[in-house]
Amino acid sequence: MAAGRQAMLALLVLLARAVLPSGSVVLNSCNSVAEQLCNFVCDCSDCSDENQCGYLRGSAVLGTPFTCDFEDSDCGWQDVSTSTYGWVRGRASLAMWGVGPHSDHTMGTDLGWFLMTMSPPTKTTATAWLRSPEMREAAATCEIRAWYHLSGSCEHTQGQNQTEQPVLRLAVAHKDEVVGLWQSPRHCSEGWHQLVAYPGRITERFQLIFSLTQPPTCGAQVALDDIMFRNCGLPENFTRCSFDRDLCGWEAAAGSPAWGRNTSLDLGTSYGIPTRDHSNSSRDGFFLHVGSGLTARGGGTAQLSSPTFQATNSCSLVLYCHLHGSDTSNLSIFYVTNSTKHLMRERTGDLGSCWVRERVDFNVTDPFKVLIEGVAGRGGTVAIDDLILSQGCVKEQEKPLVMLPRQADASSCAADEVACDNGDCIAAELACDFAATCADGSDEKLCGTTTFESGTGGWHDISVGRLRWGLQKVPESDIFLTGTFLALQTGEGQMVGPAKARSPLLGPSGPACTMEMSYHIYSDPQGFLAISVTDHTTGTTQLAWQAQGRGSTTGGHVRVPLGERSRPFQVELLALVDLQSSASVGVDNVTFEQCYPDVVSPTAAELSCNFERGMCGWYQDLSSDFKWVHSMEQGQGSDHTTGSGYFLSVDPSVPWSHGQRAQLLTSLQEPATAPRCLSFWYRLAGPQIGTLNLKLWPEGGEEVVLWTRRGTQGSIWHRAWATLPATGQQRYQVAFEVLHDGFLGDVGLDDIAQTAGPCGAELSCSFEAEGCGLAASGEGTWQRQSNSTGTTAGPVADHTTGTATGHYMVVNMGRVFLPAGHVATLTSQPYQPSTSAQCLAFWYQLSTGTPGSLGVYVQQSRARRKVLSISTMEGDNWHRSHITVQPDGDWQVVFEAVGAGGDHGYIALDDLHVSDGACPELASCDFEQDTCGWSSPSNPRLHSFAWGWKNGITLAKYPGPEQDHTLGKRNGHYMHFDTSVLGAGGTSALLESPPLPMATDSCLRFWYHMDIPEHLCSGELRVTLQGAAGQRTVWSVAGHRSRGWQGAVVPVHSPSEFQISFEITTWRWPMEGTVALDDIVYSARVGCHSSPESPVEEKLPGSFVTEVVLSLLLALVIVALVALGGWYWLKQRELASKTPTESSRPQGFDNITFRDDKVIISPREEDES
């Protein structure tokens, strides 16, 4: 297995290097000097001096400058690895799930490009090195952003039996040093994650280096995409006190902890320590720091004070701070007068591995000192550098010096405890867990619930740029906020990015947990206010809610579901607007409701739901890779309840969807003493959509799949039923789960209803979840199994999924298990007829040799009637059969296997389906009730896409004809395919019939509808016959613009069993257009020459009416012209001799003729002269 994986990776390396060029990029068209290249400033008019610099001048896809999205080029990044383990430019493959990313980050599909590591080491530890071109002169505001994808982990374990991922590192090479900028977390979930690094001011030339080191057989892989450089152009120069020589007159208080003057070179590379100073961006540059190791208790306060300054209203302090490694670190800036501290600015939490600019303005009427206090949380470091005082900060020479206040005594609580206001100590994990533990309730006092009248309520600003969050009084005109609120304000940083305010560490929370708040936003459409949730257990951040600017003031009260989460997690407020254009954002009255894990929502037991007024008892599983969305029509069609209401949907192609699973859960339900029936309406559409499962989870037990469907079922609503079993004394959860195969498709869910008692007979059964209520009896035993886990000989793959893991019903026909003449029966539950005729269809497979026979009976009122007998089968494929039943009451189907005395053998059944109406002839279908056995192959190795089944109602996501051919109405059904999803290189979409017996003189008739732009006529629709002798094409048509429904007649001849396939293929990408099929009629042993009703060309439904109207108008015009001409001739006939001979060419309105909605304008005389 490992050898096969290595061979596959090696093949991808060769393909990426040989087949995937880097594209053609214009370089330095204005011949700028070397010093002006790659310096984040456009000197050429086309900015080509900033191409191949580790970035291009911009990304056409993302619309961002100085970005490398790898779609057209490698942007100059070079693999400088010293072994076969290295970097290549490549893209995802749907055929290789698990090897790397399923999609790139730029486009979110398997067609986009990125850089990835290939050929991991097998014998010794190796490092993959990736180096940028030389860049020049990065400003202090420079910000590097990129997206990375880590998959796989090392087999060895670290610590408490946990697998360890290799660490991706980003470093800067400047002069003779290589300094680390960023490294990935020790553990993170699979998917695309964003890295942000701030290199600070770098003079002259430098390069960036990505590296990943792996031990042998580690098997991990990393990919990089969308590397962006923001605000890296040079600002004006500043003077500063850099601590390179001394403390510049500042005084560090003695004691422990204390501010220490040191360098990154001396402090080492422990997590949280600055990798360089701010002044020189160098590892041997000095700064002040106070730190706490991973095992140190932390929490002590280090003090740094200035000299005494005169009273002033123009003293300003600018400094750069570095808080990293701990969410509890703190930096506070005070001024002190008369031994009293006055807080001016405070920064709390982990601001990242970067230097952040802060500015404080002092307006003090007495002599004062500036006091800077640092508290390093456990495992973190607080550092400062480049303290700059304005000219208004004048030292006091005459008056007595200002004395600092005495420091408060340290807390008596242990390192893993927090103090209550009354002095008691509680475990730190009990603070902000949504339940009061302190006797005075103070452990829940600063946990995010606040009106902001008495402070921030535990929210702390972690912004690092030009925007920040701060408290502000509400203007009289605001209708959404009251009193004091949290407002977006101008920050003192230099980076351009959203302002962030973060809650304390919270959790755990229960399923009903929601955050409520009032808000307002006034901004253009580029501005936004958002709420995200950071899960520190998985290292992921998810967007929970967002409000976009609309050019006017909007706001109100919002409820944001947070759901069930483990501790610790944090809620983050993000906002980005242009404050210089009078924009504003505010937040007020924040509360967390029903968040304690044991709180039960009033709607928790409401499994029945039409989603018109919310989610009822269902909620999003927040550990899912992508989301169920409560919304109205989104290009997928309307809801089922009203046609204009709400439903739940899943779309794996949306930008935030990464991974393969989305789950919808209920809260824990009370034990059920009797079975119940859960019915629901679902939609499973799209050429690459995967599986929809309904599961039940007993508390403390294993999950049980109650119902499942795989592959597209068409973009229409279907009803399904599943019996929820009794659970005894166990509580349980119910879940709907989506597992997608690709990026093209969607799932809808609506009108869930729970009723007492078990469900009736299932109208459609694939045996993937369970036996659908079919009861086995007789001497032999029918078993539900898959080939991969079954104990009885059977088909190598089921019919539903086409895989060894798919399930079917099978009976062993060997004489040891079922002697000759003995029977094994399989009886369905009673079906309740809804029409005078119903069609029972099923797929079967008989083994070679002497497998016995399969009899099919219809049982009504205790009377059995044999309707079908099968004893032989050509080939080893699954075969389809169907029976028309005309019931006069409830009826059952009985499958009876009769032994023939052979040594070995089996009979298998799969995919039972009951539909209304009589069965059509085999392989014939009008697609009104179902697809009649026509299907797309499910083998993922074929790289094919599935056809869809829909009606004529217009859907933005699934275009097609507005009427079917059968009924000529919008609610008529047909098969369709959107050709724009096909990629280059001959990818195809197949629609296959069931296996058909040999044909000597048969006929295939069908209607097709093609709407493909003529300049992309490389698309083709083909009819092929696939049999034992191979495949041959018997009919084809090239792509063209719509001519309405067209008919085709194809003679069919095959000397052996065969299948008919409709295949769409293209050699260009993308090819926009649609192809549809309807009214397929297969006539066995009846030649096409004897067909009384061969298809002929049919005009567009609206074309006939249009031509009638135009003909009437044209006739009226002609009559008027004739009358006018007659009158004119009578008046002017005496001048006839003087009239020039008229041209034989049509004149006037006769110059325009109409045919099939095309306008043909005859050329003028002068055009031919």
Domain ranges of the chain: 2-230, 251-389, 446-593, 618-759, 775-916, 940-1098, 1110-1168
Percent of the chain with pLDDT strictly greater than 90: 41
CATH class in words for 251-389: mainly beta
Are 2-230 and 940-1098 equal in CATH topology?
A: yes
Specify the fold of 940-1098. Jelly Rolls (2.60.120)
Q: Is 1014 left (phi over 0), alpha (psi -120 to 50) or beta?
A: alpha
- 775-916: CATH number: 2.60.120.200
CB 505 within 8 A of CB 352: no
pLDDT tens digits, 430-477: 999 999 999 999 999 999 999 999 999 999 999 988 899 999 998 876
Q: Is the pLDDT of residue 845 over 50?
A: yes
Q: Under DSSP, is residue 468 helix (H, G, I), strand (E, B) or coil?
A: strand
CB 316 within 8 A of CB 340: no
Average pLDDT over residues 938-954: 69
| Average pLDDT of every residue of the chain | 83
- Is the preceding peptide bond at 568 cis, omega within 30 degrees of 0? yes
pLDDT band of residue 1138 (cuts 50, 70, 90) is: very low
pLDDT of residue 1169: 37
pLDDT tens digits, 576-618: 999 888 889 999 999 999 898 887 777 778 889 999 888 888 8
According to the per-residue pLDDT averaged within each range, which of 154-163, 437-446, 1123-1132 is highest? 437-446
Which residues make Cβ contacts (< 8 Å) with residue 1150, sequence separation at least 6?
none
* Whole-angstrom distance, CA of residue 176 vs CA of residue 157: 36
CATH class in words for 2-230: mainly beta
CATH class in words for 446-593: mainly beta
Specify the fold of 618-759. Jelly Rolls (2.60.120)
Q: Is the pLDDT of residue 1076 over 60?
A: yes
Give the chain's length. Answer: 1169
pLDDT band of residue 96 (cuts 50, 70, 90) is: low
What value, to the nearest 5°, has the Cα angle with vertex 502 and ends 500 and 506? 160
pLDDT band of residue 1024 (cuts 50, 70, 90) is: very high
What is the dihedral angle through the alpha carbons of 650, 651, 652, 658, rounded to the nearest 10 degrees?
A: -70
What value, to the nearest 5°, has the Cα angle with vertex 1021 and ends 1018 and 1027? 125
* Whole-angstrom distance, CA of residue 146 vs CA of residue 1073: 35
Higher pLDDT, 296 or 796: 796
| Residue 532, burial from CB neighbour count under 10 angstroms (0-12, 13-18, 19+) | middle
Residue 1135 phi, psi (nearest 5): -100, 10
Average pLDDT over residues 899-922: 91
pLDDT of residue 726: 92
Q: Is the pLDDT of residue 1104 over 70?
A: no
* Whole-angstrom distance, CA of residue 225 vs CA of residue 220: 17
pLDDT tens digits, 117-131: 987 777 888 899 999
What value, to the nearest 5°, has the Cα angle with vertex 543 and ends 539 and 548? 150
* Token duo for residue 624: 């899912």
- How does 326-337 read in b/e, with b if 16+ C-beta sit within 10 Å? bbbbbbbbbbbb
Residue 429 phi, psi (nearest 5): -70, -10
pLDDT of residue 1126: 58
* Whole-angstrom distance, CA of residue 967 vs CA of residue 371: 83
Which residues make Cβ contacts (< 8 Å) with residue 1133, sequence separation at least 6?
none
Higher pLDDT, 778 or 663: 663
CB 519 within 8 A of CB 479: no
Q: Is the pLDDT of residue 98 over 70?
A: no
Percent of the chain with pLDDT strictly greater than 70: 84
* Whole-angstrom distance, CA of residue 491 vs CA of residue 989: 55
* Whole-angstrom distance, CA of residue 879 vs CA of residue 863: 28
399-406, long-range: CB < 8 A, 24+ apart: 399/308, 399/367, 401/308, 402/308, 402/336, 402/337, 402/338, 402/339, 402/367, 402/368, 402/369, 403/339, 404/253, 404/303, 404/305, 404/336, 404/339, 404/369, 404/371, 405/336, 405/339, 405/340, 405/341
* Token duo for residue 214: 């792996």
Average pLDDT over residues 1027-1047: 85
CB 743 within 8 A of CB 652: yes
* Whole-angstrom distance, CA of residue 506 vs CA of residue 939: 46
Q: Is the pLDDT of residue 1096 over 50?
A: no
Give the pTM.
0.62
Segment among 349-363, 705-719, 1014-1028 with least mean pLDDT: 1014-1028
Q: What are the CA-CA distances from residue 454 to residues 471, 505, 520, 591, 732 (Å)?
A: 10, 20, 21, 15, 43
pLDDT of residue 903: 85
